[in-house]
Amino acid sequence: MSTPDDALERLLEGNKRFVSGASVHPNRCEETRKNLESAQKPYAVILSCSDSRVPVEIIFDVGFGEVFVVRTAGHTLSQDVMGSIEYAVQELGVKLVMILGHNNCGAVKSAVKTYSDEEARGAGNVQAILDHIYPAVKKTCSCCEAGSKDFIDKAVKENVRYQVSELIKKDRYIAALLKFNQIKVVGAYYDIAASTIELLD
């Protein structure tokens, strides 16, 4: 894959095939699996939500060895997640980093529900995830009425943008490559019912 834009176009074309019911299920044969046994050369790393309705390889119609996938509830960043993304870029040479959210996200719903009700918050590991989402919920509250029909999905999109900005701010290696246009970092939104991908500003 020669450029970050080529990598992005390949993913979007795969999603178009999936949406139209024309998936080709590439790179899944026995020969491909054998060729990949000793090494991998993916062209993109995707941080996606762990939600079972968002199977990354299927919605982008990709096969073995094409994408390096990291999944967390709410597509949230932690040091381990950033390390995984950095590994894909630094060691595997991927050109594209995508952070992918989706509509009706349970983690974002929980963050919205507990954001203004501290008594509803827990002390366990789930709360640690929600803490990563609260800044996006706060920003959404400043521009959209809480409880409105599209509030959750606006919060999801804001969370994608927030995680993108956090990655660039906190990972100096990623930021340096981005500065010199050696990689691209994009945020995207998946509509579960329509199966479509929307790129976010």
**H/E segment holding residue 165:** helix 151-170
Residue 123 pLDDT > 90: no
For residues 2 and 37, what is the distance between their CA atoms, to the nearest angstrom? 23
Domain ranges for the chain, please list them.
4-200
Read off the pLDDT of residues 10-54 as tens digits, 9 standing for 90 and up.
999 999 999 999 999 888 778 777 777 888 899 999 999 999 999
pLDDT above 90 coverage of the chain, percent: 80
Residue 176 pLDDT > 90: yes
Q: Please list the alpha-helical segments (H only) found in 20-119.
A: 30-35, 56-59, 79-90, 106-115
Read off the pLDDT of residues 68-120 as tens digits, 9 standing for 90 and up.
999 999 999 999 999 999 999 999 999 999 999 999 999 999 999 898 777 77
Least Cα distance to 75 among 131, 159, 138, 12 occurs for: 159
pLDDT at residue 1, as a whole number: 58
pLDDT at residue 32, as a whole number: 76
This prediction has a pTM of 0.93
CATH architecture, range 4-200: 3-Layer(aba) Sandwich (3.40)
Least Cα distance to 75 among 6, 16, 161 occurs for: 161
Q: What is the length of the chain?
A: 201
Bridge partner list, 69: 46
Residue 144 pLDDT > 90: no
Residue 148 pLDDT > 90: no
Q: Which DSSP string do the residues of 99-163 spell out, in sequence order?
A: EEEETT-HHHHHHHHHHT-GGG--SSHHHHHHHHHHHHHHHHHTTS-TT-TTHHHHHHHHHHHHH
